[in-house]
Copies of this chain bind each other. A is one copy, B any other.
Amino acid sequence: MFETAELGRKVPKADYKKQVPLLREELLVIQQDLRKADFPVILVFAGVDGAGKGEIVNLLSEWMDPRWLVTHAYTKPSQEEAERPEYWRYWRDLPPKGRIGIFLSSWYSTPVLDRVNNHISIPEFDEKLDRIIAFEKALADDGALILKFWMHLGKSEQKKRLNSLEKDPEKKWRVTETDWHHWRLYNDFVAGAEQAIMRTSTGAAPWDIIEGGDLRYSSLAVAKAVLKSVQKHLQKRKKVKEVVAQMKAAVGPGQMTAGEEAEPTEDYWNKPVPRPGMPTIISTLKMDQILSKEDYLSKLNRYQAKLNYLHRESWKHKVSSLIVLEGWDAGGKGGAVRRSIAALDARRYQVIPFAAPTDEERAHHYLWRFWRHQGRAGRVTFFDRSWYGRVLVERVEGFARDDEWMRAFAEINDFEAQLVEHGIVLCKFWLNITPEEQLERFKSRQEIAYKRWKLTEEDWRNRDKWADYEIAVNDMVERTSTSRAPWTLVEGNDKRFARIKVLKTLCERMEKALKTLKKK
């Protein structure tokens, strides 16, 4: 795989000096075009130590306008980073639309080094590569341009390079004992790298292997690749827009659904089949379950005390919980949250409502705002609505295109898998009520002063689409209720029954997680 990057390619100084000013100009122009574009650019640099990753990134940063460009390098996770899932720090650093983010020693570093040092097995390695593929696919599907450069150097070349760096008093700081350690592992490293490159070189995020022996050659090669790819991507996005505009003009206003604007992707064929009139998972719920007041109060007391204890244990063992609440309008999300927080210490929980995204959030992948709200260790976080908005309201109302909400199922499963693997107790509740019960609740909201704000025009409109929502909920449960992150469907016509079911489930899940932890 790397033979073509050991050919000794060089660029003469005179050539280089002629090419650089022109290239810089083009890079500056493209950066300005990019600022208005609807996608970010993600450049990943990895490779053999001494192959010039750092130098090339420095040059690129110098050539381009540093204001719309930012470089991120990673070492050992900080305490705050270690308290969240591994990818939290990468999500945190993703550039918004219109900007370039350069990632050094990024998400590739740990898997490859862990494999080379035999800390993980081959299947574990493959699993980590799958995570990378899913991560990059999610970003690329959202429009991001991802370019990955593998800086290569032959084994003897690497030795020469490290030696020469060490001799230069200005540069010897770049060479550390780790670099020499890596050099001794060269063959293993290259084998691991080859596997990583093979597996993760997807159409959406291809690798480019760059010969790193001559900085003039490699920097020009990288800069030109960046330039061409950005130009191409800008044109592609423009083309798509034009075609959509033409189609719209042809069919007249309001005749196209949002879904038709998208290019069909493989997900398209994967679209759930609408089944109007067919039973859904919701129709199987026994909605007449109730709890007497007496029974309720005694259970409330019991589970609140239990939850209080479990939360203190979780705090001690740094186990976080994330409770996702979805449900029909007036389904009782708020009431369930209140009964739960009554048992918790206010310093250690947080309730986060999700409505319209802010403009910073809009400039990122839709999952970004849920990643950014991942709390530190030992906390309980309630999400009042969540990433499931993508496959519920955004699907039904057409705010997301078909291909967008369809691929969301896989993105969500991958996201949740990361939360669960990190040890977070993830509880997902669907608070279900019948349309009749909802109507009753809407009416009573209109009558109570401090509840009136809860009722909007939109709530009334949403009732008309009950059947569509029901299908969306059914598909959501079908596709995202996994054994590690199951949905709990709550029969919510009786508020007392619903609240106890939520509390009880939460207790069970936390208890199980703590038991598993203590067994280890």
Contacts and interface: CB of A to CB of B under 8 A. Distances in A.
Contacts of A358: 358-360
A78 B102 CA distance: 27
A6 B346 CA distance: 27
Interface in A306-321: 308, 312
Interface residues of A, number: 53
Contact of A71 (B29, B70, B72, B347): B347
Number of copies: 2
A335 to B, nearest CB: 11
Interface stretch (A59-67, A117-125, A193-201): A59-67
Given A305-B170, A345-B58, A67 B450 contact: no
B308 A170 contact: yes
B347 A384 contact: no
Contacts of A29: 449-450
Q: Which of A54, A58, A102, A344 has the most CB of B within 10 A?
A: A58
Contacts of A312: 173
A347 B80 contact: no
Contacts of A341: 61-62, 66
A480 interface: no
Contacts of A62: 338, 341-342
A64 to B, nearest CB: 10
A58 B353 contact: no
Interface of A: 25-26, 28-29, 32, 54, 57-58, 60-62, 65-73, 78-80, 102, 104, 170, 173, 305, 308, 312, 334, 337-338, 341-342, 344-348, 350-353, 358-360, 376, 382, 384, 449-450, 453
Top 9 A-B residue pairs of the complex, sorted by shortest distance between their CB atoms:
A73-B347, A66-B351, A67-B353, A28-B450, A71-B346, A61-B346, A79-B79, A32-B453, A57-B346
13 contacts: A25-B449, A25-B450, A26-B450, A29-B449, A54-B347, A58-B345, A60-B346, A67-B334, A69-B351, A71-B350, A78-B376, A173-B312, A359-B359
